[in-house]
């Protein structure tokens, strides 16, 4: 009699139940599950560098931006960090006034030093700089002022401008504030006292010349109405604009200064050579010898406009009785 066969339970493989095959097979499903597990516990890696391949900014002619592509935000952010400005935005242009250097308008927060004549250096004395900025080349029409400038120009033969300016208060005290009417009455005794006390400043011939010239100064005032009328007639009542660019171009004398020097000496003035007279013409503004690169060149030209009209009226009153002289000295 045959025995019935024993039924054996299926063997367990690794204790797991058999998996049902998927459409692509069990191997494919296992790989997908392993991939999902790895992505869940993925270690943090280095941050990816931002690429510029996501954005393209297209600026149309009317200034609108085409943001159809996805890269517009990235380029804008990077340009803002790099300081790149849009080139399609027009900025208002600055208008530079005439006679003003463009560098002066670069920034109101950064002071730009004024451009002066070459003989003013960073080591120049403040008094000399003020003399250049406020007095030198500025047209002068007052007789007392002109007499003082003529006397100081005579002192240039023995002193420099900085030295004269430092002693200017001494000169004014010594010569009664350069009042021609007062100095014209100085007698010989007072003159010897002046030469003795002032010999440390000027030589005796220069002191005597300044006193003697005051007497001749009054004669010119009587003849021409004022010393100003006499001086300005040599340039037809208009200052000469030299227009030099370099200090080496400025002369020591000119035909105009030689003409005035000859006429002054003919009238009895002392120590008034062509060089002295040209220095006087420079400082009195009869000649504008500021370099054209100096900020004072245009200022001195402009300062003459208003004063010239007032001087014209003064000449008409002073020489009103002589029509011939009026025609001669009032031609402008």
pLDDT of the residue at 200 = 85
- Check whether 45 has a pLDDT greater than 60: no
Burial class (CB in 10 A: 0-12, 13-18, 19+), 46: exposed
Give dist(CA 163, CA 160) in Å, integer. 5
Give dist(CA 257, CA 250) in Å, integer. 13
- Whether residue 272 lies inside any domain: the answer is yes
- Check whether 151 has a pLDDT greater than 90: yes
Which residues sit in the known binding site for Zn(2+)? 117, 132, 290, 294
Give dist(CA 281, CA 235) in Å, integer. 10
Q: Determine what percent of the chain is predicted with pLDDT higher than 90.
A: 50
pLDDT of the residue at 27 = 56
- Whether residue 83 lies inside any domain: the answer is no
Sign of the alpha-carbon dihedral angle for 163, 168, 173, 174: positive
CA atoms within 13 A of residue 123's CA, in its CB half-sphere: 0
Helix (H, G, I), strand (E, B) or coil at 296: helix
* 270 phi-psi bin (left φ>0, alpha ψ -120 to 50, beta other): beta
Number of domains comprising the chain: 1
CA distances for 147 relative to 211, 228, 240, 253, 316, angstroms: 11, 10, 20, 20, 22
282 is written with which tokens? 């420079």
Helix (H, G, I), strand (E, B) or coil at 263: helix
- Whether residue 8 lies inside any domain: the answer is no
- Whether residue 182 lies inside any domain: the answer is yes
Give dist(CA 251, CA 247) in Å, integer. 9
Give dist(CA 315, CA 100) in Å, integer. 35
CB 299 within 8 A of CB 120: no
pLDDT of the residue at 212 = 93
The kind and range of the H/E element at 72 are helix 72-82
- pLDDT, one tens digit per residue, over 105-141 is 554 555 667 899 999 999 999 999 999 999 999 999 9
The kind and range of the H/E element at 224 are helix 204-224
The vertex-294 CA angle with 292 and 300, nearest 5°, equals 80
> CATH number, domain at 246?
1.10.340.30
Burial class (CB in 10 A: 0-12, 13-18, 19+), 137: buried
Give dist(CA 164, CA 173) in Å, integer. 14
Expressed as residue numbers, the domain containing 180 is 140-302
329 is written with which tokens? 């000295």
- pLDDT, one tens digit per residue, over 277-318 is 999 999 999 999 999 999 999 998 887 654 544 443 333 333
- For residue 66, list its beta bridge partners: 58
- Whether residue 171 lies inside any domain: the answer is yes
- Whether residue 41 lies inside any domain: the answer is no
CB 144 within 8 A of CB 226: no
Pairing of strands 240-241, 65-66: unpaired
CB 184 within 8 A of CB 217: yes
Residues 6+ apart with CB under 8 A from 289: 137, 242, 244, 250, 282
pLDDT of the residue at 114 = 84
With 0.95 as the threshold, say if the pTM is over it. Answer: no
């Amino acid at each position: 009699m045959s025995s019935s066969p024993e039924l054996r339970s299926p063997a367990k493989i690794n204790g797991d139940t058999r998996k049902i095959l998927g459409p692509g097979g069990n191997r494919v499903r296992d790989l997908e599950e392993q991939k999902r597990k790895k992505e869940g516990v993925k270690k943090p890696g280095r941050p990816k560098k931002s690429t510029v391949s996501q954005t393209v900014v297209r600026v149309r002619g009317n200034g609108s931006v085409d943001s159809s592509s996805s890269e517009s935000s990235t380029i804008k952010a990077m340009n803002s960090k790099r300081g790149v400005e849009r080139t399609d935005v027009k900025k208002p242009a600055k208008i530079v006034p005439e006679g003003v250097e463009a560098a002066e308008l670069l920034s109101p927060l950064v002071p730009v030093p004024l451009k002066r004549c070459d003989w003013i250096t960073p080591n120049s004395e403040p008094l000399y700089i003020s003399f250049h900025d406020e007095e030198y080349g500025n047209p002068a029409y007052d007789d007392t002022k002109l007499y003082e400038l003529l006397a100081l120009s005579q002192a240039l033969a023995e002193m420099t401008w900085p030295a004269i300016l430092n002693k200017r208060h001494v000169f004014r005290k010594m010569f009664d504030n350069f009042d021609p009417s007062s100095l014209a009455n100085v007698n010989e005794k007072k003159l010897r006292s002046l030469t003795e006390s002032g010999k440390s400043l000027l030589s005796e011939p220069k002191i005597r010349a300044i006193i003697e010239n005051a007497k001749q100064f009054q004669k010119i005032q009587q003849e021409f109405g004022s010393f100003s009328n006499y001086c300005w007639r040599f340039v037809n009542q208009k200052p000469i604009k030299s227009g030099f660019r370099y200090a080496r171009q400025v002369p020591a004398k000119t035909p105009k200064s030689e003409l005035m020097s000859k006429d002054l000496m003919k009238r009895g003035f002392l120590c008034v050579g062509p060089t002295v007279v040209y220095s006087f013409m420079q400082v009195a503004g009869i000649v504008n010898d500021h370099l054209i690169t100096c900020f004072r060149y245009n200022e001195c030209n402009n300062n003459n406009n208003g004063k010239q009209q007032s001087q014209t009226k003064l000449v008409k009153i002073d020489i009103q009785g002589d029509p011939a002289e009026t025609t001669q000295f009032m031609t402008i």
